[in-house]
Amino acid sequence: MIYMNIYFSGIGGVGIGPLAEIALDAGYDVLGSDLVETTTTAELINRRVKVNVGQDGSFLNEQHKLKPIDWFIYTAALPQDHPELVLAKNLGIKCAKRDELLSFIIKDKNLKLIAIAGTHGKTTTAGMMVWAMQKLDIPISYSVGTTFSFGPSGKFDPKSKYFIYECDEFDRNFLNFQPFLSLITTIDYDHPDTYPTEKDYLDSFTKFAQQSQKVITWQDQHNELFANIDNITTLHDSDINESLKLAGEHNRRNASLVQKAILELEINQPTDDILSDFPGVSRRFEKLADNLYSDYGHHPVEIAATLQMAHELYDDIILVYQPHQNVRQHAIKDQYTNQFELAKDIYWLPTFIPAGNRDDHSLAILSPEELTRNITNQVSVHIAELDDKLWQTIQQARQNNRMVLCMGASNIDTWVREKLKSTEQLAN
């Protein structure tokens, strides 16, 4: 093992925090900072990790003098003029984003990387892989970009030989890895802020596959992308295990991909019952209360898939949808067409544009009316806001035994949870 003293900027965050705990469990020295105290910072302090609330650079400078810091880890959201990042560069500390460090840890610990990539479904598929391996009593380390009911979002097990990772294509992060086995779920053009053209996006998946020792994907993917890839296994629709007791065709597809991966690892144990009992992951068709669900989906393909799953459980569905990032909406606005046929009503919110993000401010902000003009289904579209009027509509629909599905990658989930807390308990 290579000794390292690692500083995490934003150590209390949902992405950096679990990585800090993985590094700590893997035997590296860990310290860091954040702007506020969080549950994660409290857990790390309890484990005797030095954590500073405040990021003006003074703590970083002081700690570097006491014991030289080898790596400074930060997220893509950190501005380039951030005091800590500027200081770290001036001090000659190696600065890297989370994926570069994780790739280093995997190599340093001689782990075999099982990477789950794709435009849609990678979080759920990674969660299924973690769940199955745990139930099969196979030691694993892993990092997934959400929370589980059955474990933390990241973990290092010194007995493991596999590392399961949700390998995100955003910011070309997944190109930092050379997986032992890659599962590619689906591919649809996304992240125009990272990939200016669809070709650029698709080419990145080709490169990712080339960096992988083995690949499992679906026949209906962009097959020309993988035409020259060795050791690729392609599944067909006939390979979907319809005997799995999972709601949603896409969930059965994801689980079938996991089953194929487990066979590829020469783990010859039955998994039908294990995967049929998969409890799901946070914000992926997550039941918050009776007749009320939250889902992270923010792409037309994801909307259609989640509505299909919802329709296996309910006949009368209301969709509350919050588009994510204006630059993304310009890329996919013409794709909002026939995905809504299984919803009786749509409440369409203004596009959420995060403050200080990398959105292209030269683009006009698309209105809900512009984004919904091409919807072809016979469905009622209502323009709405996250306000008391919408909450009253949601509550009335639930009382009438209508299912309400709130979808989006931004603050719609937080808003719904806060409203629920003021009126009733979240579902167990």
Residue 363 lies in a domain: yes
Tell me the Ramachandran region of residue 231: left when phi exceeds 0, alpha when psi lies from -120 to 50, beta otherwise. Answer: left
Q: What is the model's pLDDT at position 95?
A: 97
Considering the domain architecture, whether residues 260 and 302 belong to the same structural domain is answered as no
- Strand 140-143 and strand 154-155: pairing? antiparallel
97, 125, 156 — which closes off a domain? Answer: 97
Considering the domain architecture, whether residues 323 and 242 belong to the same structural domain is answered as no
Considering the domain architecture, whether residues 52 and 74 belong to the same structural domain is answered as yes
Considering the domain architecture, whether residues 204 and 338 belong to the same structural domain is answered as no
Residue 106 lies in a domain: no
Residue 291 lies in a domain: yes
Q: Which residue range is the domain that position 81 belongs to?
A: 5-97
Whether the CB-CB separation of 111 and 163 falls below 8 Å is answered with yes
Considering the domain architecture, whether residues 235 and 177 belong to the same structural domain is answered as yes
Considering the domain architecture, whether residues 91 and 138 belong to the same structural domain is answered as no
Considering the domain architecture, whether residues 417 and 305 belong to the same structural domain is answered as yes
The string of pLDDT tens digits covering residues 21-46 is 999 999 999 999 999 998 889 989 99
pTM for the model:
0.76
Strand partners, 406: 294, 320
Considering the domain architecture, whether residues 404 and 259 belong to the same structural domain is answered as no
- Cβ neighbours for 223, distance < 8 A, ≥ 6 positions apart: 234
The string of pLDDT tens digits covering residues 313-322 is 899 999 999 9
Residue 103 lies in a domain: no
Considering the domain architecture, whether residues 237 and 316 belong to the same structural domain is answered as no
Among 161, 104, 158, 155, smallest CA distance to 126 is for 155
Considering the domain architecture, whether residues 255 and 122 belong to the same structural domain is answered as yes
Burial call 44-78: b when 16+ CB within 10 Å, e when fewer: beeeebbbbeebebebbbebbeeeebebbbbbeeb
97, 123, 143 — which closes off a domain? Answer: 97
Considering the domain architecture, whether residues 115 and 245 belong to the same structural domain is answered as yes
Residue 11 backbone dihedrals phi, psi, to 5 degrees: -65, -15
Residue 384 backbone dihedrals phi, psi, to 5 degrees: -140, 170
Domain count, the chain: 3
CATH of the domain at 330: 3.90.190.20
| Amino acid letter, 295 | D
Considering the domain architecture, whether residues 14 and 160 belong to the same structural domain is answered as no
Tell me the Ramachandran region of residue 360: left when phi exceeds 0, alpha when psi lies from -120 to 50, beta otherwise. Answer: beta
Average pLDDT of the chain is 91
Residue 102 lies in a domain: no
pLDDT over threshold 70, residue 356: no
CATH of the domain at 25: 3.40.50.720
The residue-averaged pLDDT of 91-118 equals 96
CATH of the domain at 270: 3.40.1190.10
Cα–Cα distances in Å, from 195 out to 35, 185, 275, 298, 421?
31, 19, 34, 17, 39
97, 125, 153 — which closes off a domain? Answer: 97
Residue 105 lies in a domain: no
The string of pLDDT tens digits covering residues 164-222 is 999 999 889 999 999 999 999 999 888 888 899 999 999 999 999 999 999 999 987 65
Residue 225 lies in a domain: yes
pLDDT over threshold 80, residue 108: yes
The pLDDT confidence band at residue 282, using thresholds 50, 70 and 90, is confident
Residue 141 lies in a domain: yes
